[in-house]
Copies of this chain bind each other. A is one copy, B any other.
């Protein structure tokens, strides 16, 4: 199961497709593969070969942001102070969802299109779990709140911001942080 490296032209096309896909996501356009193919001046079949479904392309677009979040979690684990570490990570999680429109659907999807996405998610949730465990161990947080709860709630808070139309980027960020603080005030112990 060793993946053969892509041929040069294939790699170039792959890049262009992902780039175009990212632009589509940023502009809020639906990721229709035929459409993306035309915009990227690439044959439809080539797009479908690289990305069998829109979800596959979406997850590829989302991957860097997921990776960044996982690295943020890694850094947070190095912070000896459990509470700011957890809070900072959660804030980054919301911020990322508000900045990168590819993230919310990837988090919400019941199944992943790419195994690499599943692995990334597992890495992320694993680190997040340890981050939360530290807070639990220090008695900083409601013991009834699980990793799954917080993960879902983060998606929910981002959704609550996204539901509101006509908010500028700055307002969105501020609102997201505010909602997080409200929730954390309810979760915090001691």
Given contacts A156-B159, A185-B187, 12 further A-B pairs with CB under 8 A are A107-B163, A142-B182, A144-B178, A148-B164, A152-B160, A152-B161, A152-B164, A153-B179, A155-B163, A156-B160, A156-B179, A183-B186
Contact across chains for B160 and A153 when beta carbons are under 8 A apart: yes
A5 located at the interface, meaning its Cβ lies under 8 Å from any Cβ of chain B in the complex = no
Q: For residue A165, which residue of chain B has the nearest CB?
A: B110
Q: Is A113 engaged at the interface, CB distance under 8 Å to the other chain? A: no
How many of A's residues come within 8 Å of B, CB to CB? 30
> Which of B142, B156, B164, B184 makes the CB contact (< 8 A) with A157?
B156
A108 within 8 A of B: yes
3 closest cross-chain pairs (CB), A and B: A156-B160, A186-B186, A185-B186
**Stoichiometry, copies per complex:** 2
24 A/B residue pairs, CB under 8 Å, sorted by A: A142-B182, A145-B182, A149-B178, A149-B179, A152-B160, A153-B157, A153-B160, A153-B179, A153-B182, A155-B160, A156-B156, A156-B159, A156-B160, A156-B163, A156-B179, A157-B160, A159-B159, A181-B186, A182-B183, A182-B187, A184-B186, A185-B186, A186-B186, A186-B187
Residues of chain A having any CB pair with chain B under 8 Å: 107-108, 110, 142, 144-145, 148-149, 152-153, 155-161, 163-165, 175, 178-179, 181-187
